[in-house]
Chains A and B, each alone.
Chain A
Amino acid sequence: MDDQQPLLLPGQPFPPLPKGEFVLGDGAYGREGYVVSDRIGHGTETKLGTQTIVKVVGTQPPLALPKAGSTVLGRVTRVNPRQATVSILVVDGLPCGGAQATRVGASNNKAAGEGIDGSDFQGIIRAQDVRSTEKDAVVLAECFRPGDIVRATVISLGDARSYYLSTAQNELGVVHATTRGPSQYGWTAAKHVLQPMSWREMADPVTGHVEPRKCAKPDWLA
């Protein structure tokens, strides 16, 4: 049972809480016996057995940063024989980086979460993390191409510049890829969206051309 309360600002304590055992959730912290909000939002109490989880639900989408275990969507930016570099766009269904990402996505020709000045969070998919079978035989150029949208899971925070991502599960991998058909008579050919055919092949539905990818299992395949 959820009980929503009035708007709270950072530093504002919760209204007096009923007696019992409390767990501080997201958006709340304890200070001198009070439960205090740390963002602009509505306080929420959720009963869970004998405990009550106290948290503040923000009036804007929360700042979503990748953390270990998150499922992210990213755009492949660079591929080399050892690893693929990914610009992280979406974290657990939320634009990466919070409110700015939402606003920017609405008014620019960019994906939600894609930075306007190269300030995206960067992840890398190492060759040994692409799939769980035949790790030594992975050729990264046959798994990813620049511009592909991939779904991956965060292994760890990684080093100072990149998060470590993995696509070593059936539902992880390339979810969207495009190819440009052959140009004719000097005209630039249109882009075609590739369709997954198997776990490692994608085909152009217009020309029939087959390209290798590490494909994610489509959502409609239950």
Chain B
Amino acid sequence: MNVGEDSMAVPCIAQKSPVVRPDGRKAEEPRPLYLQTGIIPSASGSTLLESGHTKIVCSVHGPRQVRGRHYAGKAEVNVQFEMAPFSEKERRSSRDTEAPVPAALIQQALLPAIRLDLLPKSSIDVHITVLDSDTSMLGCAAMGATAASAALAEAGVQMLGLVTGATATAISTLPSTNKAQQLWLVDPTHREYADSHSHLMICGLPALGMTTCYVLQGSVDSMNALKHVSNTLTQVTTKYHGLVAQSLYNEHT
């Protein structure tokens, strides 16, 4: 039995195979992605990224001179991640808009891809603003890394490859065998994220077959299922990479 939308209890969703999600997607199907570069004239590179109802704007400034730091032979990357006050159902106060954990994850995802040694004594500032959020915080971080990668490429920063990210979340299902089971959903909506307990994010460089950031939160019932969803997310990042590449091609030809 499906628990109602307004129920406060943690729902157990009884489903027949195959799983059909509220928006009609299958378990391993991501939402469509739209990417547009060059939207902010005053930035070196900028990107607008939309997927479902999630909208993220990223701008890159730099290379700029580093102020008051020790001598550095290569550039440093500063990531600033903000949730707009109107980006969620409950309004955030201005003090709560900045989120340091996604910023650190995005920096970790981007650092292996950027050739920092070619830009000595400089800093690259990446500003990411979430205008509308319909996914988890990890989902915003993964999409932010994708947007930042496109913006950096647009700015002319030399990179080993384009970084893309994807997330999945696990819900509990009650199949006909009456035994609780974990089911991983790719690219969860905010509702699916709120109803779940385990989350996975993978960011990498699909062109080089490299993973740069791997985040797992919560418990895992089956290592085989985790391996399967990791491979699925890697394929989703490859698909996103194709979409980002196509958008950059269209912009530059």
* A complexed with B: yes
Contacts of B158 in A (CB 8 A): 10, 27, 38-39, 63
Contacts of B248 in A (CB 8 A): 9, 40
Assess A121 versus B41: contact at CB under 8 Å? Given A9-B245, A160-B72.
Answer: no
Contact B42 A121 (CB under 8 A): no
Contact A104 B65 (CB under 8 A): no
User: Closest chain A residue to B73 by CB distance?
Assistant: A157
Contact A119 B64 (CB under 8 A): yes
Q: Is A103 an interface residue (CB 8 A)?
A: yes
B66-93 contacts to A (CB < 8 Å): 66-72
Binds B, one of A93-101, A124-132, A181-189, A190-198: A93-101
Contacts of A99 in B (CB 8 A): 44-45, 155-156
User: Closest chain B residue to A163 by CB distance?
Assistant: B121
Contact A98 B155 (CB under 8 A): yes
Q: Is the interface of A mostly helix, strand, loop or mixed?
A: loop
Contacts of A63 in B (CB 8 A): 63, 119, 155-158
User: Closest chain B residue to A120 by CB distance?
Assistant: B65
Contact A157 B44 (CB under 8 A): no
Query: B65: which of A7, A9, A122 is its contact (CB, 8 Å)?
Result: A122
Contact B70 A12 (CB under 8 A): no
Give B251 Cβ to nearest chain A Cβ, in Å.
Answer: 9
Assess A31 versus B253: contact at CB under 8 Å? Given A10-B161, A100-B42, A103-B42.
Answer: no
Contacts of A120 in B (CB 8 A): 65
Contact A65 B41 (CB under 8 A): no
Q: Which positions in B face A, CB cutoff 8 Å?
A: 41-45, 61-72, 113, 115, 119-122, 153-162, 205, 207-208, 245, 248-249, 252-253
